[in-house]
Amino acid sequence: MSISRNTALNLGGAFIPIALTLGTLPLYLNAIGNERFGVISIVWIFVGYFGLFDLGLGRATAQKIASTTDDNSTQTSEILWTALTINTAFGILGGSILFPIANWFFLEKFNIQEELKNEIIHAIPWMAVAVPLTTITGVITGALEGKEKFLQINIINITSTSAIQIIPLIIATYISPNLSLLLCAIISIKILTIILLFISCQKNIRYIYPAKINFNIAPELFKFGGWVTISSTITPLMVMLDRFMIGAISGATSVTYYTIPFNLASRITIIPRSLSSALFPKFANKNNNNELYIYAIKTLLAAITPLTIIGIIIMPQFLSWWISHEFALEAAPTGIIILIGLWTHSLAYIPYAQLQAKGKPDVVAKCHLVELPFYLITLYFALKNFGIIGAAVVWSVRASIDAIALFYLNKNINGIVKPVFLSFLMIITSSASSYYISSNKIAGIALAIISLIGGFALAWKHAPKKILNKIKLR
C-alpha cells in the first residue's frame, strides 16, 4: 500500500476528531467551567503519562511485525500475543501505582476549589482503569500498523474519538458535569474500542488462534521497547510537565489559558504524525531509505510551513472569535510561541521514526536523557519569573534543540538545511507581524503578507517533484 494513501488515511482519521474538538470545546467550557476543564486536562496528562507502562511494546510490536517477511509463519501471532500478555500485566501494575499518586497530587498539591475535590476522589479509580486499557490498545494498534492496516485503524479511531468527544458533552449538558460520571463514559467507550481493534486483528493476522505466547521473543521486544519506553517517559514529561507546574504555582485557570492554545496549535502535528506512521513500516523493511527520508522531509516542510504561518497570523483573532476577546489577550501570545516550537518539533518526527524503525531507539532515548535536566531547570525558573509565556518559550526552545539533535544523530541532512533555514525565517517574520499588528497595523499587515508569500513560495520551490506534478495535473 502506498505511503501517500496511508498518510491520507491517517490525516482523515485525525482531522474529524479535531473538527469535533474545535466545535465542541466552547460548549464544554460552558457546560463544565474553566476550572473543571483544567482538572480534566491534568487527568488526561496523568493517564497519558502512565501509558509509559506500555514499555514501548506497542512500537516494538509494529516494528517486529513490519520487519517479519514470512506471512505464513506463526511468528506474527506470537509477537502479538506475547506483547499483549506482558502489556496487560504491566498496565494493571501502572494503574495500581497511579491511584495513590493521583490521590496525593490532586488532594494535597493541586491548587483547586474544595468543592471539586470530592469529584476528583471518585474520579481517580476511573483514571487507574484507563491505564491498562491504554497499554492494551497500544499493542493491538501496533500490530495493525505493522501490517499497514491504516484504513481499519482510522475507521475505529474516528468512531471512538468522536464518541469520546460527544457523549460526555451530552452527559455534562443534560445530566451532570460530575468528573466521575464523565470519566466512566469515556472508559466504556475505550473498552468498546479495544474490542473493535481486536476483531480487526483477527481478520488481518494469520494463525492468531490458538493464542501463542512465546516468552523467548520477550527479551527482543524488551530490548527495543526499553529504549522506546525511556523516550516515551521523557517526551511526555518534557511536553506536559509545564502544566503540572502551572497548576501548582498559578492554579487551574492558568492551566486552561496555557492548555487550550497549546492543544489548538498542536493540531498541526497531525501531518507529521500521519506521515511518520505511514513511513514507519516502510523504514523498518527497507535497507536503503535515504531517498525516502529526504522526500518525507521536503514534503513535510512544504505542508506545515504555510499552515504554521497562517496559524501564527490568525491566532489572536481566532481565539477572540472562538472563545472571547479577554481569553485571547491572555492565551494568544502563548499560542504563537508554541506554534514556532511545534514547527521544529514536527520536522523531528521523520528522523525520530527512521531511527526507531531501523532498530536504533537507543539513539533517540539517549538524546532525550541529555535534554531532560536542562529543560527542567530552565522551565522552573521561566515559570517563576515569566509565567505561562516563559513556559512556552522554554518548551519551544527545547523542541528546536531536540529537532536539531535528531537530524544530526540520523547523519542525513544533505539537501535540507537551506530550505529549513529559509522557512524558519518566514516563521519568525509572521511572528513579528502578530507582535506589531496591535501597535502598528500597517507594519503588521506588511510583515504578514511578506511571510505568507515567502512561505508559500518556499513550499512550492522545495516540494518534491512528484507532489508538484500531481498538483499540476489537476
**346-372 confidence digits (pLDDT tens):** 888 888 888 877 777 777 788 888 888
Per-residue pLDDT band at 39 (split at 50, 70, 90): confident
Whether pLDDT at 297 is above 60: yes
Decide which of 206 and 127 is more confident: 127
Residue 91 has a pLDDT of 87
Residue 36 has a pLDDT of 77
d(CA 38, CA 180): 15
Residue 251 has a pLDDT of 66
* Residue 197: partners with Cβ closer than 8 Å, 6 or more residues away: 137, 140, 141, 144, 153, 156
Residue 474 has a pLDDT of 41
Residue 440 has a pLDDT of 62
Least confidently predicted of 262-276, 325-339, 409-423: 409-423
Residue 333 has a pLDDT of 84
Whether pLDDT at 72 is above 60: no
Residue 34 has a pLDDT of 73
Least confidently predicted of 9-13, 62-66, 388-392: 9-13
Per-residue pLDDT band at 442 (split at 50, 70, 90): confident
Decide which of 82 and 1 is more confident: 82
Per-residue pLDDT band at 277 (split at 50, 70, 90): confident
Whether pLDDT at 469 is above 60: no
Write the pLDDT tens digit of every residue in 304-351. Answer: 888 888 888 888 888 888 888 888 877 888 888 899 989 998 888 888
> What is this structure's pTM?
0.66
Whether pLDDT at 1 is above 60: no
Decide which of 235 and 136 is more confident: 136
Residue 122 has a pLDDT of 79
d(CA 292, CA 207): 33
* Residue 277: partners with Cβ closer than 8 Å, 6 or more residues away: 6, 10, 145, 150, 353
Residue 289 has a pLDDT of 64
Write the pLDDT tens digit of every residue in 424-435. Answer: 888 888 777 776
Residue 70 has a pLDDT of 55
Residue 192 has a pLDDT of 92
User: What average pLDDT does range 398-409 have in this prediction?
Assistant: 85
Residue 236 has a pLDDT of 66
Average pLDDT for the chain: 78
